[in-house]
Amino acid sequence: MFNNLTNRLSTTLKNIRGIGRLTEENIKQTLHDISIALLEADVSLPVVRSFINCVKEKAVGQEVNKRMTPGQEFIKIVRNELIIAMGKENNTLNLAVPPPAVVLLIGLQGTGKTTSTGKLAKFLKEKHKKKVLIVSTDIYRPAAIKQLETLSNQIDVDFYPSSYNEKPICIAKNALKEATIKLYDVLLVDTAGRLHINDSMMEELKQIYNAINPIETLFVIDAMMGQDIVNAAKIFDKILSFTGVILTKADSDARGGAALSIRYTTGKPIKFIGTGEKLEALEQFYPDRIASRILGMGDVISLIEDIENKIDSEQAENLSEKIKKGENFNLIDFLQQLKQIRKIGNISDLVKKIPGLGNISNNIKPAIDDEMLIRMEAIISSMTVKERKNPNIIKGARKLRIANGSGNKVQDVNKLLKQFNDMQNIMKKIKKSKINNITKYIKNIIPYDFYKR
């Protein structure tokens, strides 16, 4: 989402790294370039002006830490102001009420409220061990109720049935009654998308709000909508006073201005960001981590959390034991590792979280992407069990059969076997604990773009 902003700021801030002292004169051009970068990212003008003034005020005459250069100090100031603009700290859901805690999701049409309801239900169930009930009050969009029911089945969360001939306010009241009787911890209420200029729909939303008295009202916004969403947010907030924001489609090529503008404009925090279409692709919003990503500094903490939450620890332990015992690393193991990598998320997004590699993720995308991993899985899936256990038997005729069966070319099968052989060599080196050799082999597998910068 922040690709363009990150690239512009990285280029701009390079120019100031070598200066000996921060003065109004030598940071003038840099501040100008930062303001242009923010405006191009669709950050609203009042936010840009406030941001630049704060950076300027804190930078000029700043007493530089002896362990930092003036350029590093300036970058630190920029990062701190980005954090302040986005909310200073993570704001979690307030569920500290007698159950059920009611969470209402609202927003414009097409922003992803229904999918976000499913994602949030999965998050609360798995991360916070909550007993969750979800309900749809959207009687206007075809298949909206069925969509949420399908999502509930996928994540194994209870769904309160509703129909198109019921009134939304009655659906919400009955769902709350059900959640109270059956001792649910949380009730998530999905609503129909509506334009803020539609008075009757907004009045209906207000009635639902008053009837169920939610502890949290989350305004779901599309990251691709830019500054337009800020005006809508003001009106929704005036009517309902929402408590936080879910920012969807953060994995898109949106310019990111909404994330920097919404808190400044409404005073309400972004609580979650949707980072993909999968139901696990929902992250808590940490302003400090996002600021680091914007400045190309990576986000190791989020990367570690991704790995801890999505990697099968039992599988990883089994593989570790297998290597220790000296057993062969075969294509069955390789396939499991590919699936584990895909669980973590989009490859280019993962790379951005690694310090120093954020700015090169676009360059490695042609070499390492989700499509490539899917092709590799397809190739291995086209092999027999015997071939997976003994890759050395895969020769000409077998390669052709595997290529045809997976919809690939023989060259693709050869590439996969080459990568597998490299991975086998790494496993042998790990067993022998020769770290220098491990690094050499890894360099041969990872594209040259990783190392040439």
Question: 43 and 73 in one domain?
Answer: yes
* Choice between 28 and 136, residue whose per-residue pLDDT is larger: 136
pLDDT for 261: 77
DSSP bridge pairs for 284: 272
Provide the pLDDT for residue 343.
62
Adjacent-strand bridge partners of 444: none
Check whether 61 has a pLDDT greater than 90.
no
Higher pLDDT, 44 or 398: 398
Count of domains forming the chain: 3
* Sign for the pseudo-dihedral over CA of 369, 371, 374, 380: negative
Q: Is 101 annotated as a binding residue?
A: no
Q: Are residues 274 and 321 in the same domain?
A: no
290 and 323 in a single domain? The answer is no
Question: Other C-beta atoms within 10 Å of 352: how many?
Answer: 23
Residue 248 in marked binding region: yes
The reply, when asked if residue 114 is annotated as ligand binding, is yes
Q: Are 402 and 446 members of one domain?
A: yes
> In this structure, what are the phi and psi dihedrals at residue 217, rounded to the nearest 5 degrees?
-120, 115
Q: Could you tell me the CATH number of the domain that includes residue 161?
A: 3.40.50.300
Answer yes or no: is pLDDT of 352 > 70: no
pLDDT at 447 over 80: no
64 in the same domain as 148: no
112 is known to lie in a ligand binding site = yes
Q: Is 288 annotated as a binding residue?
A: no
Containing domain of residue 357, as a range?
303-450
Amino acid at 152: S
Domain boundary among 249, 273, 297: 297
pLDDT, tens digit (0-9, with 9 covering 90-100), for 102-119: 999 998 888 889 999 999
End-to-end CA distance of the chain: 23
Residues 36 and 119 occupy one common structural domain: no
Is residue 71 marked as binding? no
CATH number at residue 344: 1.10.260.30
Position 47 in a domain: yes
368, pLDDT greater than 80: no
Same domain, 149 and 14: no
Question: Does the pLDDT of residue 169 top 70, yes or no?
Answer: yes
- What is the rounded average pLDDT of the residues 24-44? 78
Annotation-wise, does 384 bind a ligand?
no
Compute the mean pLDDT over every residue in the chain, rounded to the nearest whole number. Answer: 75
Examine residue 228 and state whether it is found in any structural domain, yes or no.
yes
Lowest mean pLDDT among 229-243, 344-358, 362-376, 405-419: 344-358
* 33 plus 138 within the same structural domain: no
Domain boundary among 297, 315, 347: 297
Q: Give Cβ neighbours of residue 224 (< 8 Å, ≥ 6 apart).
A: 249, 252, 254
The answer to the question of residue 322 being in a domain is: yes
Q: Are residues 319 and 440 in the same domain?
A: yes
Q: Is 340 annotated as a binding residue?
A: no
The answer to whether 375 and 417 are in contact (CB under 8 A) is no
Domain boundary among 257, 276, 297: 297
Q: What is the CATH number of the domain that holds 54?
A: 1.20.120.140
* Tokens coding 309: 């939450």
Please report which confidence band the pLDDT of residue 362 belongs to, taking 50, 70 and 90 as the band edges. Answer: very low
Task: Specify the DSSP element, H or E, that contains 6.
Answer: helix 3-14
Does the annotation list 108 as a binding residue? yes
| 193 annotated ligand binder | yes
Q: What's the confidence (pLDDT) of residue 2? A: 54
Higher pLDDT, 226 or 92: 92
Q: 160 near 117, Cβ under 8 Å? A: no
Q: Are residues 125 and 77 in the same domain?
A: no
**Closest Cα to residue 293, out of 345, 251, 353, 344?**
353
Check the annotation: does 439 bind a ligand: no
CA 236/CA 240 separation, integer angstroms: 6
pLDDT higher than 90, residue 346: no
The response to whether 109 counts as a known ligand-binding position is yes
Residue 446's pLDDT band, with cuts at 50, 70 and 90, is very low
The answer as to whether 397 is a domain residue is: yes
Is 93 part of a structural domain of the chain? no
Task: Say if residue 122 is in the same domain as residue 76.
Answer: no
Distance of CA 112 to the CA centre of its chain: 14
Of 361-375, 387-401, 414-428, minimum mean pLDDT range = 361-375
- Is the pLDDT confidence value at 361 over 80? no
Q: Is 251 annotated as a binding residue?
A: yes
349 is in an annotated binding site: no
- 192 annotated to bind ligand: yes
Least confident of 107-121, 274-288, 432-446: 432-446
**95 lies in some domain:** no
% of residues, the chain, pLDDT over 70: 66
Q: Alpha helices, DSSP H only, in 300-432? A: 300-310, 313-324, 331-344, 347-352, 361-364, 370-381, 385-389, 396-406, 410-432
Asked if residue 113 belongs to a known ligand binding site, the reply is yes
In whole angstroms, give the CA distance from residue 272 to residue 282: 7
Whether 202 is in a domain gets the answer yes
The first and second tokens of residue 369, run together, are 């992407």
pLDDT for 103: 95
Mean pLDDT of 61-65: 53
Cβ–Cβ under 8 Å, residues 104 and 208: yes
Residue 133 pLDDT exceeds 70: yes
Q: Evaluate whether residue 80 is within a structural domain.
A: yes
Label the pairing between strands 244-248 and 132-136.
unpaired
For residue 367, name the pLDDT band (cuts at 50, 70, 90).
Answer: very low
Give the mean pLDDT of 275-285: 83
Q: What is the dihedral of CA 343, 420, 427, 326, to 10 degrees?
A: 110
Domain check: are 236 and 317 in the same one? Answer: no
Instruction: Say whether 298 counts as a known binding-site residue.
Output: no
The tens digit of pLDDT for each residue in 210-253 reads: 999 999 999 998 877 766 777 788 888 888 889 988 988 776 65
